[in-house]
């Protein structure tokens, strides 16, 4: 074990103060939500763990459904004022410490010239990318030119948040983006991308490489526009064997992490079904690792402590369906996750996105349970409510 990692366990909760505060904070309750989020992501002590929720902006919120009635999903994604409004909605209602940009991972395939639609039943992309010639035809993308609306939204959101709340940007990781571009839609079987992996691995590698270039430029643009950190959604990486992940997919993800970290950015890597990949993802050198609910948080924390270099924080991993459970169950589970994660380096979250039928009371119970972990009664900070945009 790296000596610095071993020491982490022994740090008292009030010492040292969070560096982001600029001055010495002796009262743990003085953390702003943003300072709390950054401290946890950087494995520094906190008054209580920060909390946010994947897909926290979305259809489980009546105010999202109301705004959505007048606009298509893509219209909302493409219009910075609407994306800003939707991003802020959950922060007015719940005491989340971080906002996540309202957008979609499929902005990148769209910027590369694919037609992306969201009919009932999930996204559809065309034309599909299946051959070496298809990959070669994909144009290089300069994020500021094709995806500038995302930077505009982030700047607008940052203006609204000030320095009180953390702001997260995100991108799909190359393998997850490639799966939509190759399959043309969501899939349970991944037959076309796996056929390419086994039959033409060099074509898949070329596509992942091309995507990694765009993702690096896109994430850097988001950090420049005011994001405190970015999350890389490698949602479907867990569908692969570890050997295939390591040989074909991990290099493009590693290149992204190294580029962002090398320029001073903060990055969290999330994958679903990540259990068998943990040694491969924990060693990427990301600041944070997002876990789905199948992973035992304590075991992942122990593995992360064994990595050399800067310790990796963990994010997750309550099953989103546990938000349908009674508040007492949710509170028990949050306490258990906190105990398993250890005193530093944990960001409370779900193990995947909140689903549209989720009861608001379940979200309230989750947030209240995390707030209840405060050592000195830190008060939640809500954004002031404002008339929703028409």
Give the active site residues: 55, 59, 68, 104, 180
Shortest separation between residue 226's beta carbon and ligand CP3, angstroms = 16
Binder to ligand CP3 among 14, 30, 59, 275 (CB under 6 A)? 59
Cis peptide before 279 (omega within 30 of 0): no
Nearer to ligand CP3 (CB atom), residue 273 or residue 335: 273
Distance CA 52, CA 33 (A): 10
For ligand CP3, which stretch binds (CB under 6 A), given 96-104, 108-116, 130-138, 366-374?
96-104
Full DSSP string of 104-118 = -TTHHHHHTT-EEE-
Judged by CB under 6 A, the stretch of 51-59, 253-261, 316-324, 328-336 that binds ligand CP3 is: 51-59
220-259 positions binding ligand CP3, by CB under 6 A: 233, 235
| Contacting range for ligand CP3; rule: CB under 6 A; set: 20-28, 49-57, 206-214, 342-350 | 49-57
Please identify which residue in 25, 38, 61, 106 interacts with ligand CP3, judged by CB under 6 A.
106
Alpha-carbon 66 to chain mean position: 25
38, 360 Cβ separation under 8 angstroms: no
Residues 165 and 108: their CA atoms lie apart, in Å, by 27
Q: Is 123 in the site for ligand CP3 (CB under 6 A)?
A: yes
CA-derived radius of gyration, the chain:
20
Q: Which is nearer to ligand CP3, 272 or 305 (CB)?
A: 272
Q: Closest Cα partner for 181 from 202, 211, 209?
A: 211
Distance CA 54, CA 84 (A): 17
Site string for ligand CP3, 334-353 (x = CB under 6 A): -------------------x
**Is residue 274 involved in binding ligand CP3 (CB under 6 A)?**
no
- State in angstroms the smallest separation of the CB of 58 from ligand CP3: 4
How many residues interact with ligand CP3 (rule CB under 6 A)?
22
By CB under 6 A, name the one of 41, 57, 237, 383 that touches ligand CP3.
Answer: 57
Burial 69-101 (b: 16+ CB within 10 A, else e): eeeeebebbbbbebbbbbbbbbbebbbbbbbbb
The interface region with ligand CP3, picked from 104-112, 219-227, 340-348, 378-386 by CB under 6 A, is: 104-112
Among 31, 37, 94, 170, binds ligand CP3 (CB under 6 A): 170
Q: Does residue 186 touch ligand CP3 according to CB under 6 A?
A: yes
What Cα–Cα distance (Å) separates residue 37 from each residue in 50, 135, 228, 294? 5, 39, 9, 24
Q: Which is nearer to ligand CP3, 11 or 321 (CB)?
A: 321
Please tell me the distance from the alpha carbon of residue 225 to that of residue 158, in angstroms, as a whole number: 8
Report the C-alpha gap between 111 and 192 in whole angstroms.
Answer: 22
Residues lying near ligand CP3 in the complex (CB under 6 A): 54-59, 68, 73, 100, 102-106, 118, 122-123, 170, 186, 233, 235, 353
């Amino acid at each position: 074990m790296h000596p610095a990692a071993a020491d982490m366990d022994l740090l008292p909760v009030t010492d040292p103060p969070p560096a982001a505060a600029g001055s010495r904070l002796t009262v743990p309750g003085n953390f702003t939500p943003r300072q709390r989020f950054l401290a946890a992501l950087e494995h520094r002590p906190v008054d209580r763990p920060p909390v946010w929720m994947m897909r926290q902006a979305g259809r489980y919120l009546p105010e999202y459904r109301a705004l959505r009635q007048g606009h298509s999903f893509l219209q909302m994604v493409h219009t910075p004022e609407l994306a800003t409004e939707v991003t802020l909605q959950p922060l007015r209602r719940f005491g989340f410490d971080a906002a996540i940009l309202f957008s979609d991972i499929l902005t990148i395939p769209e910027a590369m010239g694919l037609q992306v639609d969201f009919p009932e039943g999930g996204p559809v992309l065309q034309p599909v990318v299946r051959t070496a010639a298809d990959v070669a035809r994909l144009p290089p993308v300069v994020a500021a030119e094709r995806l500038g609306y995302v930077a505009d939204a982030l700047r607008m959101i940052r203006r609204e948040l000030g320095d009180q709340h953390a702001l997260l940007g995100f991108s799909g990781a190359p393998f997850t983006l490639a799966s939509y571009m190759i399959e043309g839609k969501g899939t349970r079987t991944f037959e076309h991308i796996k056929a390419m992996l086994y039959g033409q691995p060099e074509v898949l590698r070329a596509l992942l490489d091309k995507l990694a270039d765009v993702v690096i430029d896109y994430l850097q643009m988001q950090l420049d526009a005011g994001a405190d950190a970015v999350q890389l959604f490698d949602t479907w990486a867990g569908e692969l064997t570890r050997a295939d992940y390591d040989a074909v997919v991990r290099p493009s993800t590693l290149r992204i992490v190294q580029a962002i970290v090398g320029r001073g950015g903060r990055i969290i890597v999330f994958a679903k079904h990540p259990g068998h990949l943990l040694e491969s993802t924990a060693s990427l050198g990301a600041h944070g690792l997002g876990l789905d609910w199948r992973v035992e948080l304590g075991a992942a924390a122990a593995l992360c402590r064994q990595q050399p270099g800067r310790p990796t924080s963990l994010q997750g991993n309550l099953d989103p369906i546990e938000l349908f459970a009674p508040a007492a169950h949710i509170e028990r589970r949050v306490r258990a996750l906190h105990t398993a994660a250890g005193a530093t380096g944990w960001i409370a979250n779900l193990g995947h996105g909140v689903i549209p039928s989720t009861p608001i009371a379940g979200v309230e119970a989750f947030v209240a349970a995390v707030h209840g972990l405060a050592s000195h009664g830190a008060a939640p900070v809500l954004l002031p409510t404002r008339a929703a945009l028409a």
